[in-house]
Amino acid sequence: MLLNKDFLKLQDSYLFITIDQKVKAFMADNPNAKLIKLGIGDVTLPLAPAVIQAMHKAVEDMSKAETFKGYSSDQGYPFLQEAILGYYAKKGVELELDDIFIGDGAKSDISNMLDIFDKGSVALVPDPVYPVYVDTNIMCGRELKYLSGNQANSFLPLPDSKMKADIIYLCSPNNPTGSVYTKDQLKCWVDYALSMDALILFDSAYEIFIDDCNLPSSIYQIPGAKQCAIEICSFSKTAGFTGVRCGYTIVPKELVKKAGENESSVNAFWKRRQNTKFNGVSYITQRGAEAALSDEGFAQIKENAAYYKQNAKIISDVLTELGIWYTGGENSPYVWLKCPGGKSSWEFFDQLLREAHVVGTPGSGFGMNGDGYFRLTAFGARENVENAAKRLRHL
């Protein structure tokens, strides 16, 4: 019996585990320090009232034989699929019910999607990038290519026609940089994918933070995307479900790729994978997600998003005042800044922890191009964000 040797190619520990270890070591030496954590992108506001009400009712449903629910249908309950269908219709995107798969979050589906792709497929990821895109491909021995995101292109790399790839990872608004692709820029990616017969995995986990109507919040707002793209989203940041777990993946039936000598439906492959390896999301959770997309619930979760965006503005205003370059924040919960004084990412992490008692995320943890940059999240409580801003001024 042998273990998967591809795991040996991974970094010794996941980025956020390393951060946690450093913080624990600091607190052991400084037990009275009052840390402000703006590192991990975990939400802090409670669930919206409409969501709580719906989940309470769903619990009552589970207490009665006539309304009790066991396993959900293969792709989730139709009531949630229909709510997502309506949500996309408001974006000007027409979907079919069978295009929508309910899952337990974007991270799981982004990782598990690799099951249905040929092991010889080449994955293209921007650098810097969300570590899960990279690590899950390394785990299955897949070749990776990198596209440079940098300050010159506002960390929004565009395709290189000389670079051949099969699976393309895009995230907009981006994690970690907070940058958002325009419609013209996404059109470049769709055209590239179609020309290469490639497939885009589009992570739209932060789409609710986009208020600019000129910026796309779904890749399906781009002509041709249904023939080349899978969109993955989550209620984690949309509705504060990080502790509840629910997301969805859209696989249009127009999307076909070769399997052997014949073309096959990607939708059918993903459905078969889920039938075998996934038993669905709880009824109670799906009722909560449905409520989040109701008129009442959506107004409430947008208020929460506005709260976090105001936090981002507080951080951004301080950086502007200090003359520190940054991107993100305006249509994103993340602020991506250039480390002052030419420091490396981990040097600035240590300084921020030691002198300001603030925890952020070193940009180098997201790739080589992230070194010298740093990510701050706006998902904290307002008082903590305001205090962090004061501490930043006195570094």
**Position 3 in a domain:** no
Which pLDDT value is given to residue 124?
98
pLDDT digit string, tens, across residues 68-103: 999 988 899 999 999 999 999 999 999 999 999 999
**Position 240 in a domain:** yes
Which pLDDT value is given to residue 12?
67
Pairing of the two strands 123-127 and 262-265:
unpaired
35: domain CATH number?
A: 3.90.1150.10
Which pLDDT value is given to residue 260?
87
What percent of the chain lies above the pLDDT cut of 70?
99
Which pLDDT value is given to residue 92?
97
Which pLDDT value is given to residue 16?
80
Q: Looking at the structure, tell me whether residues 226 and 363 fall in a common domain.
A: no
Q: What is the 3-state secondary structure (H, E, C) of 84-116?
A: HHHHHHHCCCCCCHHHEEEECCHHHHHHHHHHH
Which pLDDT value is given to residue 353?
96
Number of domains the chain contains: 2
Q: How confident is the model at residue 40 (pLDDT cuts 50, 70, 90)?
A: confident
Which pLDDT value is given to residue 72?
87
Which pLDDT value is given to residue 18?
85
Enumerate the H helices of 122-216 as residue ranges: 131-139, 183-196
Q: Looking at the structure, tell me whether residues 223 and 302 fall in a common domain.
A: no
Q: Looking at the structure, tell me whether residues 362 and 282 fall in a common domain.
A: no
pLDDT digit string, tens, across residues 262-315: 999 999 999 999 999 999 999 999 999 999 999 999 999 999 999 999 999 999
Least trusted range by pLDDT, from 58-62, 70-74, 386-390: 70-74
Q: Looking at the structure, tell me whether residues 113 and 35 fall in a common domain.
A: no
Answer yes or no: is pLDDT of 333 > 90: yes
**Position 38 in a domain:** yes
The model's pTM is: 0.96
What letter would DSSP give residue 3? -
Q: Looking at the structure, tell me whether residues 198 and 309 fall in a common domain.
A: no
Q: How many residues does the chain have?
A: 395
Distance, in Å, from the CA atom of 343 to the CA atom of 72, rounded to the nearest integer, reads: 51
Which pLDDT value is given to residue 90?
97
Answer yes or no: is pLDDT of 247 > 70: yes
Cβ atoms of residues 191 and 222 within 8 Å:
no
Which pLDDT value is given to residue 266?
98
Q: Looking at the structure, tell me whether residues 24 and 74 fall in a common domain.
A: no
Which run of H or E residues covers position 344?
none
Q: Looking at the structure, tell me whether residues 40 and 89 fall in a common domain.
A: no
Distance, in Å, from the CA atom of 69 to the CA atom of 90, rounded to the nearest integer, reads: 30
Q: Looking at the structure, tell me whether residues 264 and 385 fall in a common domain.
A: no
Q: Looking at the structure, tell me whether residues 174 and 278 fall in a common domain.
A: yes
Host domain of residue 346? 8-46+296-393
